[in-house]
Amino acid sequence: MFTSINIPQLGIRYEQPVGLFINNKFVKSKNGSQIDTINPSTGEKTASFYAAGAADVDDAVKAAKHAYDEVWSKTSPSERSDLLWKLVELIERDKKLLAALETLDSGKPYHSNALGDLEQIISVTKYYAGAAGKIGLGKQIPISQDKYAVTFQVPYGVVGQVVPWNYPLAMASWKMQGCLAAGNTIVIKPAENTSLSLLYFAQLLVEAGFPPGVVNVVPGHGGEAGTALASHPNVDKVAFTGSTNVGKLVMECAGKSNLKPVTLECGGKSPAVVFEDAKIENAVEWCAMGIFYNSGQNCTANSRIYVQESIYEKFLEAFKSHATKTWKFGAKRDPFDEDCTVGPVISESQYKRIKGYIEHGVKEEGLQVETIHELPPDSKGYFIQPTFFTNVPQNSKLNREEIFGPVAVISTFKDEDEAIKLANDTDYGLASAVFTQDIGIATRFVRDIKAGTVWVNSSNDEDISVPFGGFKMSGIGRELGEAGMETYLQTKSAHFNITV
C-alpha cells in the first residue's frame, strides 16, 4: 500500500502511502479505482493512489462513529491535548518532507511558500493542543431560588471535512486540529490532485497515538466521495473549503440528508483599495504578494486593486517594478529552486481556464495587459506569468469572476464613497484590504466593507488566533482562533430543579 518516491532536489527518497486511511490502516478502495497525481511543474505523473467510492466512505463513517461512541467521546480534554502536543513534535520532525510533498503535489515554491505553510500548521496544532479544555466551557444560569440551568458545549460526533488543493495540508489542519480538540471524530477528503501530504500525515496520527477510527482519510473524486460524505446520514456536521458552486452542492446534500450543519469557506474576489495618502511602497509590496503568492491560487487573493486617481500612474510603475524583481519563476523553473517565488498553477485544466480569462480580456474586451517574466516556448509544466490588467471597467468579466490565478485587475476611484461602493460591488465577501494613513478613512472602511476579514495597510497576513471566514457567497461560519474549535461544538442546556 506504499510506493517509493524520489525528490532529487532535496536528496529525499521516501515511501508514500497510496491507500485509503480507514481505522488506522491503509486499504484499497473496494472497486480498485485509482487516481494519478501529476507534478504541475513538469506535467508528469508522480504516483497513483486509491480513490474512495461511496462504499468506502461508508466504511470510514462507520469507523469514525464506532471510535466516537466507544473511545473518543470518553477521552478528557487533557488526553486530547497530550495527543495533539505529540503530533506537534512529529510534524516538526518531518517538516521538510511534508513541505516537499506540498511542493511536489501542488507546485508551490518550497523555500518561499511550502516551508511557511508547515510553520503555520505547527502553530495551528500548538494552538489547539493548548485550547483543548479551555474553550467551550459551560456556565451556570440562576433562574430562581429553587432552580438553575447549566449550559454545556459538546461535540457533534462524526464530522465530514472536504479540503481544497491550494493549501492541501494547511487547510486540512485548520479543520482537523480544532475538531479533534473539541472531541469529534473525522472523515476527511483531500482534493483528488493533492492527496499525498495528507495520506503521509495520517501515519503521524497513528504514531502520535490517536485511536483507530478517530481520523479517516478518503481521497477520491468530489462527485462521488465528496457527495457521499456530505450526504451520509451518520455524519453529524460537514465542513468544506472550495468553490462557491461546489459549496452550494455540499449545503444541498447536507440539507437533503439529515439537515446536518455546515461550515463553508468558498470563493472570493477580494478588493485592495489604495488611497492617495498611502505609503506607496508598502501598498505595492502587499498588493503584489496578495495576488501573486501561491500563484494567485488563494481564496483571499486581492485580485481587484482600486487606486485613487491622483496616484494611479505612480502606483502602476512601482507595482510593475516590484513584481518584476520579486515574483519570479527562477532560472530552472523549478519550485524547489531557492530563487523561485512563483510556481505553476495546479493542473492543465486550471492552466487553460486562467489563460482563457487572459485571452478574453485581451481579445474580447480589448483591455490593456502587462505580463512579467516571459516563458520560453519549451517551458514545461503549468506556469503562467504574473499578469495584470489596467483601467478595467467594473462590469468586466475579469472584475466580476474569480480567476484563481496570478492575474490582477487594477482600476481607479475618485473618492472614499466611490471606493467603498466599488469594493462592495461583488457577490463575494471573503476578505479586503485598505491602504491609508488616515485613521478616519481606515475606520470607516472597516465599518462599511462587506467582508469577513479586513486588512489595514497589509494583505493576506492572517493569524491563527484570529477567526477567518466570509460574508455573502464566500461562505458560512468561521475557522481559526476560538471559532475554529467552537464551530465543532454545539450547545446543550440542562435545567436543575432542586426542591424535589
C-alpha cell at 202: 495520517
Residues 6+ apart with CB under 8 A from 245: none
Measured CA distances, 331 to 189, 310, 335, 374, 481 (Å): 36, 37, 10, 12, 40
- Helix, strand, coil percentages, rounded to 5, for the chain: 40, 25, 35
Q: Exposed, middle or buried, 238 (CB in 10 Å: 0-12/13-18/19+)?
A: buried
Residues 6+ apart with CB under 8 A from 163: 171, 172, 175, 188, 189, 190, 191, 198, 241, 242
Give the active site residue among 44, 89, 119, 265: 265
Instruction: With H, G, I as helix, E, B as strand and everything else as coil, classify residue 237.
Output: strand
How would you classify residue 456: left for phi > 0, otherwise alpha for psi between -120 and 50, otherwise beta? beta
The secondary structure of residue 293, as a DSSP letter, is G
Report the DSSP beta bridge partners of residue 389. Answer: 369, 409
Confirm whether 265 is a catalytic residue: yes
The amino acid occupying position 431 is: A
Other CB atoms within 10 Å distance of the CB of residue 137: 10
C-alpha cell at 7: 525528490
Backbone angles phi, psi at 110, to 5 degrees: -65, -50
C-alpha cell at 154: 459538546
CA dist 197 and 167 (Å) reads 10
Active site residues: 265
